[in-house]
Structure 1
Amino acid sequence: MPADRGEPLFLKLRRPNVRFLFLAVLIGGLAGYGAVLFKLILKYMQWVFYRNTGDWLTFAESVPLWMKIAMPTVGGLVVGLVVSFFASEAKGHGVPEVMQAIALRGGRIRKRVAAAKIFASAVTIGSGGSVGREGPMVQIGASIGSSVGQFFHVPSAHMKTMVGCGAAAGIAATFNAPIAGVLFALEIIIGDFGVMQFSPVVLSSVMATAISRYYFGDFPHFDIPSYSIVSLWEYLCYPVLGVVTGFVALAFTNSLYWLEDRSDALPIPEWPKPAIGGAALGAIFAIFPQVFGVGYGAMNQALINQVPFQLMLVLVLVKIAASSVTLGSGGSGGIFAPSLFMGCMTGGAFGYVVHWLFPLHTALPGAYALVAMGGVVAGTTYAPITAILIIFEMTSDYSIILPLMLTCITATVMNSTIQRASIYTTKLLRRGIDIEAGRERHLLSHMLVKEVMTRDFVTIPQSMSLSSLIWTFKTQNAPYLHVMDEEGRLTGIISFRDLRAVLNEDGLEDLLIAQDLATPNPVTVTTDDTLQDALDKITHRGVSQLPVLSTEKQPKLVGTLTELAIDAAYNSATVRAELDEDGNLGR
């Protein structure tokens, strides 16, 4: 008989796993309303800047040239002030900041981030920034999830699930795509498909989607004709499309961070840089209104085969430039929508080519535009499952699943082979954060060996006899003896295991000396090496202790470093970091 059969229901409902499900519903509800608020503020900002809330292509011709340049400049100035003086986390596309919070701060995000991100992203997009809504909503939802977790004192081990619930809700509410929201959170944010993470994330995503559908309706993001495979030979085209979209994704990633480097190198304060980017954007919008804002209007035209081949090719390059300028200069917004746009135009142009070559065996260009949207998303994020499902849910067209799978997997495999980091993790690596290693590696990489090493060690001469060695081990109680030459240089190490190997041999006391038993050329570290460097050497060589040498031209033995000392230093650093976070998060 199960031990808990007689347990009262109210006690079962107080179990941690059940409590997390209730919190997930709460997070989903708050994030859903956050998405509603964000969309309303976004429309309001567009009205403030242009006195119009429709798609840009419907009113672009009526906007005077000076306004096309001035409004993105003013919007950039406002965003620069918000980011510089209120919440620096609101800068950029948002998802890396969420991943960083999970990896290094146990999922804790400052409470002000959600408000700052809503405002900064709404101003960026409303004034014409060539970015998307999903990145802001991921960060807004994650911030809500983190705040709820902190308010209800969720343990650190489960905080990343709370953050993942918010991120899933943000994606689900933004794109009306609950399944993709779940997979995005599990694949990118949490990095774990376990049941304990899956259930709360699903509930949060469903709740946010229900709220979004209540206010904005339940309809596909793109209204397109149904496409189907014309011939089995057509399947051969989609891996090629995966390669093409992969290269476009790489071009976007590298262009974005190249421009970010140029912006960082400018010898001016941070706050006016988005305004400079805004002015450059205005010049682009004056010629190519299709890349203004999110760009769904132009994408819809491409999906129904109404954009010429030459213009599609040009728009791919223009969108890469516009989105890179927006984000690289310090604007706030996501990379999903730009990736969809680039994929749409790339796929459309590719479709024109293959349909011209094989008109009887291939679909119209719109089909390739649709599939390529997922290819560029997968090639930038390295999240093929999310890319496949989000295109499916945004179109409600199951016939594209097989081509999507071929294209997205090809783009992901190719790009991850060429360039290890995705567009998200590249940003973290540039900050010195290896998200795959996480919190431990980051903390250890910021501590030096000289801060932790001990100067308690035993040295012996190379010529010491075996009998003296035995006596030294007995009297010094040291795990290792460090063998030195006549000039005071370390030449080897003797452990008790080395000594025990010859203890049972008779007649060796007067034959063997320390140099005969020592392990020559031991692995060492210097005082200026990081603890992560030392731990890597300990792990790779299978030792528990390393000699520490000075950094002089003629290095000398100055101490030893043990694995236990590294563990203790890491634990202390973790406590200090959490105390600092607790002090900062309330602001």
Structure 2
Amino acid sequence: MSPEPRLSSIPGFRKPTGSFRLVALAAALGCLTGVAVAGIQSFVVLAQRATLGFAAERRIVLPDHASHLRIALALTCSAILVTVLSRLLSRWKTREPLDAVEANALSGGTMSWFDAVGVVIPILASVSFGASVGIEAAVTQLGAVLASRLGRRLGRPRSDLRVLVGAGSAAAIAAAYRAPIAGMLYAYELVLGTYSKRTLAPIGLAAICAVITMWLLTGQAKPFDLPLETRAFWSDFPLALVIGLLAALLGIGVMLLVTILERLFKRLFPNHAVRRAAAGLLLTILSIRFPAVLGSGHAAVEHAVNGDIAGRHALELLGAKTVASAASLGSGFRGGLFSASLLMGALLGQGIAWIAPLIPGIPPVSPGLCAVIGMASVGASIIGSPLTMIFLVLETTGDYDAAIVVAIGAVAASFLTDRLFGYSFATWRFQQRGLAIEGGHDVSRLAASPITGIIRPPKRSVAANADLDDVLRAVSTAGARGTAVYRHDGSFAGLIDPRLVEAIEEEEGRLPIVAADLIYETSPAVTPKTNLAELVEIFRNDDRATIAVMDPADNRTLVGVVRARDAFALASNILDMQRREDLGISK
């Protein structure tokens, strides 16, 4: 009889690893970020009541006691305050503060308290006095910096720092809108640039904990309530496509208008304070007819979707809000366009719903549905995060049918913006600063890698006056490690160029050539301080197999050589490790 097969042993549980600690850290971070967001939102409301005499975040009309002179003075004070803060910050650090996307792309998630102060304080100094900007950039920056500092304090590796920065940003957006899924997707689409199973637990738990914390501190009321008592019909699908296309054009126009007004203000008003004060005067004039241009516009979003702002008034307010937000950012007030894009989109949708019945053959449309389609579509165009906008609508309306139609508009707007313009507002500003960043993808891993580990001494060396036979013997045994040529005083002259040696060998007669005649004419400037990204770029633009590494203190002293195959192999290993980390694959 054949022996019975043994049952395989039951695998035991894995021991707790760093992933468990990362998830616990993300949960604590979500709670901290929720407290910070609640504090910032409350502070802005109190500050606006003190400076403007009313909370612009919660009103679309001016109260009876409001004074336009007070509004103008408040914005002028803001212009002076932001200017003073900017000068103080420039004395503190010469560089610009890193935001979460830039930090994840270029510095592996490393952020400093300067990055928090340099972004959060000027934004609060702008929006608290009525500038037409949003606070989302402030809360996401604060969440990201808290995450980075906490991770660095606990000694987390680079990959965990990037995840924590994404978790902090996700928690901030989730807390601000009480929308955890939208917050998670914001982190994946913008801050991390990719999704992986490994990052789901920390980012998801951070967003959920932030929302729960907001519920405990402020109640379960959302920034705006968007009930949609309507059903989506077949005719709404092509309508969503049209709204998405128009939203893309509007989003591109807004981003370009910010740049145009920025250049115009700089040309007309060289002084920074005067420049911001001029924009404040423009906002005061616009607020006489359209008070909703002041502040971020959260209250106006709800009124636009619910139909309180509709028809011609919606289109007029759309134009006013567009100019107000572009002028605020173009003049130097600090803030973001997250909430402004939502308001612009809702107003665009209401305007389209007002115009649609004037076109013969158009079926009846729902103004509220058009508003939420426009809200998500313009947000997808300007912010560059269509999934975030789709789920933000779903979580704020609770209407699944509407979310399907909204998805068509948001996807269309995102696609057309990418094809016609190629940037979101954040990446557009990066490009203007000379940074080739298209998202939070870690593009700096190679730049952070030294090359000291692949520097080797040359295989052979010869004197500068060595004859051709000596050079041939040296080159035949050196291979890709290279043959160094030294002058009579011991200084380094260069590396032998194998192509010249091969050409000389093909000549029928022997020429009176010495080693100094066979070195490379030029040599790239490579030192031990050169990083791997720079070295790989040099090898891509140069077909030589070996490059000399020189002493940075003395350009005649050879440190060693690096081979192209070693540089590319190291780069491939590092990028493969990065992909495995992003995918959550164990090393």
TM-score, normalised to structure 2's length?
0.76
**Structure 1 contact 83–271 (Cα < 8 Å) conserved:** no
**Structure 1 contact 458–478 (Cα < 8 Å) conserved:** no
Alignment of 1:295-444 (within 5 A): 295-357=297-359, 361-436=363-438, 439-440=443-444
Cα 1:537–1:117 change in 2 (3 A) is closer
Amino acid at match of 1:44: L
Structure 1 partner of 2:88: 85
Structure 2 partner of 1:519: none
Mapped to 2, the partners of 1:407 and 1:302 lie a distance apart of 18
Post-superposition offset of 1:443: 5.4
Post-superposition offset of 1:457: 10
Post-superposition offset of 1:18: 0.6
Mapped to 2, the partners of 1:86 and 1:475 lie a distance apart of 59
Structure 1 partner of 2:574: none
Which range moved further: 323-332 or 253-262?
A: 253-262
Post-superposition offset of 1:36: 0.9
**Structure 2 contact 163–203 (Cα < 8 Å) conserved:** yes
Structure 1 partner of 2:231: 228
Mapped to 1, the partners of 2:379 and 2:536 lie a distance apart of 37
Mapped to 2, the partners of 1:211 and 1:116 lie a distance apart of 26
Post-superposition offset of 1:472: 6.0
Post-superposition offset of 1:346: 1.2
Structure 2 partner of 1:581: none
**Structure 1 contact 372–407 (Cα < 8 Å) conserved:** yes
Post-superposition offset of 1:82: 2.6
**Structure 1 contact 169–206 (Cα < 8 Å) conserved:** yes
1:152 is aligned, of 131, 137, 154, to 154
Post-superposition offset of 1:127: 1.4
Alignment of 1:433-582 (within 5 A): 433-436=435-438, 439-440=443-444, 470-471=472-473, 473-474=475-476, 494-495=498-499, 510=508, 535-536=536-537, 538-539=539-540, 544-545=545-546
Is residue 2:70 matched to residue 1:67? yes
Mapped to 2, the partners of 1:172 and 1:523 lie a distance apart of 59
**Structure 1 contact 291–318 (Cα < 8 Å) conserved:** yes
Structure 2 partner of 1:34: 36
Structure 2 partner of 1:140: 142
Cα 1:534–1:258 change in 2 (3 A) is farther
Structure 2 partner of 1:583: none
Cα 1:202–1:239 change in 2 (3 A) is same
Post-superposition offset of 1:333: 2.1
Cα 1:440–1:74 change in 2 (3 A) is same
**Structure 1 contact 87–116 (Cα < 8 Å) conserved:** no
1:20 is aligned, of 19, 22, 44, to 22
Mapped to 2, the partners of 1:65 and 1:468 lie a distance apart of 89
Cα deviation code 1:425-457 (max 9, x no counterpart): 12222222222475549959xxxxxxxxx9x99
**Structure 1 contact 535–563 (Cα < 8 Å) conserved:** no
**Structure 2 contact 304–371 (Cα < 8 Å) conserved:** yes
Cα deviation code 1:263-283 (max 9, x no counterpart): 556775656643443233222
Is residue 2:100 matched to residue 1:98? yes
Post-superposition offset of 1:534: 7.2
Post-superposition offset of 1:160: 0.9
Cα deviation code 1:534-553 (max 9, x no counterpart): 744633777645799xxxxx
Structure 2 partner of 1:193: 195
Amino acid at match of 1:294: S
Q: Secondary structure at the match of 1:108?
A: coil
**Structure 1 contact 259–328 (Cα < 8 Å) conserved:** yes
TM-score, normalised to structure 1's length?
0.76
Alignment of 1:120-135 (within 5 A): 120-135=122-137
Post-superposition offset of 1:315: 2.4
Mapped to 2, the partners of 1:115 and 1:249 lie a distance apart of 29
Mapped to 1, the partners of 2:12 and 2:542 lie a distance apart of 49
Cα 1:284–1:267 change in 2 (3 A) is closer
Cα 1:4–1:300 change in 2 (3 A) is closer
**Structure 1 contact 161–197 (Cα < 8 Å) conserved:** yes
Mapped to 2, the partners of 1:356 and 1:197 lie a distance apart of 49
Mapped to 1, the partners of 2:461 and 2:248 lie a distance apart of 55
Cα deviation code 1:525-571 (max 9, x no counterpart): 8779x9978744633777645799xxxxxxxxxx9996669969x99
Mapped to 2, the partners of 1:527 and 1:118 lie a distance apart of 41
Cα 1:561–1:308 change in 2 (3 A) is farther
Cα 1:476–1:308 change in 2 (3 A) is closer
Amino acid at match of 1:147: R
Cα deviation code 1:227-265 (max 9, x no counterpart): 3223x1331122121110001000111112333344556
Post-superposition offset of 1:343: 0.7
**Identity percentage over the alignment?**
21
Is residue 2:181 matched to residue 1:167? no
Post-superposition offset of 1:65: 2.4
Cα deviation code 1:396-421 (max 9, x no counterpart): 22221122111111111111112222
**Structure 2 contact 481–546 (Cα < 8 Å) conserved:** no
Post-superposition offset of 1:323: 0.8
**Structure 1 contact 136–332 (Cα < 8 Å) conserved:** no
RMSD: 4.5
Structure 1 partner of 2:280: 278
Mapped to 1, the partners of 2:10 and 2:249 lie a distance apart of 57
Post-superposition offset of 1:142: 0.8
Amino acid at match of 1:75: S
Post-superposition offset of 1:385: 0.8
Mapped to 2, the partners of 1:111 and 1:300 lie a distance apart of 35
> Which ranges in structure 2 are unaligned for 5 or more consecutive residues?
1-8, 449-457, 485-495, 513-519, 550-557, 572-587
Which range moved further: 162-171 or 468-477?
A: 468-477
Post-superposition offset of 1:481: 9.3
Mapped to 1, the partners of 2:326 and 2:115 lie a distance apart of 23
Q: Secondary structure at the match of 2:352?
A: helix
Cα 1:476–1:113 change in 2 (3 A) is closer
**Structure 2 contact 26–206 (Cα < 8 Å) conserved:** yes
Which range moved further: 264-273 or 248-257?
A: 264-273
Mapped to 1, the partners of 2:30 and 2:158 lie a distance apart of 20
Post-superposition offset of 1:359: 7.1
Mapped to 2, the partners of 1:420 and 1:243 lie a distance apart of 15
**Structure 2 contact 283–293 (Cα < 8 Å) conserved:** no
Structure 1 partner of 2:79: 76
Post-superposition offset of 1:201: 0.6
> Which ranges in structure 1 are unaligned for 5 or more consecutive residues?
445-453, 483-491, 515-521, 549-558, 572-587
Structure 2 partner of 1:580: none
Mapped to 1, the partners of 2:461 and 2:385 lie a distance apart of 50
Amino acid at match of 1:135: A
Which range moved further: 353-362 or 377-386?
A: 353-362
**Structure 2 contact 462–471 (Cα < 8 Å) conserved:** no
Q: Secondary structure at the match of 1:59?
A: coil
Cα 1:288–1:398 change in 2 (3 A) is same
Structure 1 partner of 2:489: none
Number of residue-to-residue matches in the alignment? 522
Amino acid at match of 2:66: V
Mapped to 2, the partners of 1:391 and 1:351 lie a distance apart of 18
Which range moved further: 391-400 or 174-183?
A: 391-400
